[in-house]
Homo-oligomer: A and B are copies of this chain.
Amino acid sequence: MFELDVRSRKPIYEQLTDKVKELIMHGILRADEQLPSVRALSSQLTVNPNTIQKAYRELEREGYIYSLQGKGNFVAALQQGQSESKRAELKEELLRLMAEAVYLGFTETEISSLYRQALDMRREESSHD
C-alpha cells in the first residue's frame, strides 16, 4: 500500500504524509477508517518508528487524521474552513504550474484532458468498496 523511495531527496516522513493525503483524496482511505499502527508500519516498511510517528503527528497537525489515545490513528473528515484555505493554496500552486505548462506549449485541451483523467481515477477507486 505504501511505497517508499529511500533514495529520494524527499524526506521519508514527507513521502509518507504525501502518500496518506493522496489516498484520502482519492477516496481510498475513508473518514474514520483506522490507519496502520506505528509499529506495524515501521516493521512493514523497515523504517524507523520515530519517522512514522513524525509523519502521523504532521498529518494530525494538518487536520488529515486524528489520534485516539491507545486506540490508534484515524482518517478525519474534511472540514469546512480547512477546505477553503487548502483550495486557495492549491489554486496558487496550480497557477504556477500552468505558467510552466504554457511555456512548454501545453494546450487548453491537454490540460482539460488531464483534469478528466484525474476525475476518472477518483471515480474508479471510490467504487472499490
Contact = CB atoms under 8 A, between A and B. Distances in A.
15 contacts: A6-B69, A7-B68, A11-B69, A25-B103, A83-B104, A87-B105, A90-B97, A90-B104, A93-B97, A94-B111, A95-B117, A98-B114, A98-B117, A101-B118, A102-B119
Instruction: Name the interface size band of chain A.
Output: 35 or more
Nearest to A123: B102
A95 B108 contact: no
A16 to B, nearest CB: 13
Interface in A23-38: 24-27
A96 to B, nearest CB: 8
A99 interface: yes
Given A6-B68, A66-B7, A69-B11, A115 B101 contact: yes
